[in-house]
Structure 1
Amino acid sequence: MKPHRQSLYKAFGCALRGIVTAVKTERNMKIHMAAALIVLIAAALLHLDRMSWLFLILAIAIVFIAELMNTAIEAVVDLISPQKHVLARLAKDTAAGAALVAAAFAVMVGLLVFYQPVWEWIQSMTN
């Protein structure tokens, strides 16, 4: 029997629904969205070069991907193991750890990308 394949349009719709649901329901996704917006506005205001934009967008994407995967893993674990179990906790904590590592990476990228332009902007304000 041939597996059922949904249309590309429906597949994109499902993916977008998952992203929207995560943004609406997950506190950390809201925080990441706000942080990403602030970072992108700052990058535009400081007229960062293409390479800096690349690193910022990559870091933002990694954080979003990690947080979406964390949300998916938590949902599956809750479905499969509604009762408390040591392995359920391990799966959830590990997924949350991956999201934390991604966020820490993004902060490091932000510090490296923004340090010099912000320092130069501060210097120009004091002169």
Structure 2
Amino acid sequence: MVEPTPPPPRRLAALVRQRAASFGYAFRGVWAALQTEVHLWFHAAATVLVIGLGLYFGLERWEWAVVALAVGAVWCAELVNTAIEAVVNLVSPDYHPLAGRAKDVAAGAVLVMAIAALAVGLLIFGPRVWDLLSW
């Protein structure tokens, strides 16, 4: 079996530039959503609160992993919801029942993920907060 040869340096440099640009586009998308979506600011505040609580209570590594996945999933759901709403508004500027259904289902996905993240938060932080309050 013949080993594949690495790409020439110029192609590699162009590939690295393209990947870096992709990250730039992604960060620009998150920033654009933060500028237009009030719900994302709520998620940002909740994220800061959760990180602060995690540091205060000294979460274990596995707990950080679960919390990070829950927070990331909520952010992803909200960003996908924002993208779906933008595309639906572009394609169907006037009201259409299917456009409304698409937006409602996307918003429902965010709600389901937020409830799941709340459950994670209650399971991980609930006993610690309860102990703190019941001294």
TM-score normalized with structure 1 length: 0.89
Q: Which has the larger radius of gyration?
A: 2
Aligned partner of 2:81 in structure 1 is 70
Aligned to 2:104: 93
After TM superposition, list the pairs within 5 Å mapping 1:21-32 onto structure 2. 21-32=32-43
Residue 13 of structure 1 pairs with residue 24 of structure 2: yes
Deviations 1:40-81 (CA, angstroms, capped at 9, x unpaired)? 101100111111111111100000000000000000000000
Q: Which residue does the alignment assign to 1:120?
A: 131
Letter in 2 for 1:56: V
- Once residues 83 and 34 of structure 1 are traced to their aligned partners in structure 2, the CA distance between those partners, rounded to angstroms, is 33
Query: Of the candidates 122, 127, 135, which is equivalent to residue 111 of structure 1?
Result: 122
Give the drift of 1:121.
2.4
Gaps of 5+ in 1: none
Distance in 2, Cα, partners of 1:117 & 1:49? 13
Match for residue 36 of structure 1? 47
**In 2, distance between residues paired with 1:24 and 1:12?**
18
Pairwise CA RMSD: 1.4
Report the count of equivalent residues: 120
What TM-score does the superposition give when structure 2 sets the normalisation length? 0.84
In 1, Cα distance between equivalents of 2:128 and 2:58? 9
Q: What is the rounded CA distance, in whole Å, between the counterparts of 2:50 and 2:22 in structure 1?
A: 30
Name the amino acid aligned to 1:25.
Answer: T
In the TM superposition, structure 1's runs of 4+ consecutive aligned residues that sit over 6 Å from their partners are: none
In the alignment, what sits opposite 2:94? Answer: 83
